[in-house]
Amino acid sequence: MAHCPHCQQNGVGTIRKWLSSPAFPARCRLCDGLSHVAAGRTADILLLATLLLIASGFAAALLKSAWPLLAGGLGSLALYVRRWQRTSLLPTDQASTEQAQSRNAVINLFALILFSLWR
């Protein structure tokens, strides 16, 4: 369980925390408060884990051994899980959530139009 920024209790599920975003926040089981992980933090965690995995792949190719890739894969997984555990949730409300959902819908529509024109 993750720490809720509203009630200061462990009321947010771990998986729900991992899936949270400004448009789709996690809901606390104890106080019904909404919270999410900052989008930049999500990208930061994924980028670090991916870079470690890529670096270990290059090391494995350079050394012609699978051990660096195995060690890098396990290290990348450990880094990813640990960073998610240590990341705190930010409080939000229903109005901010609806605004983020509207923004996401416009961005997705724009991307769909660009993709259809590109083909």
pLDDT tens by residue, 2-49: 899 999 999 999 899 989 999 999 999 999 999 999 888 888 999 999
| pTM score, whole prediction | 0.74
Helices of type H across 64-93: 67-86
Helices of type H across the chain: 14-19, 39-63, 67-86, 94-118
Over the range 3-19, which residues count as b (16 or more CB within 10 Å of their CB) and which as e? ebbbeeeebbbeebbbe
Six-digit token string for 39:
């989008």
Domain ranges of the chain: 1-37+89-119, 39-86
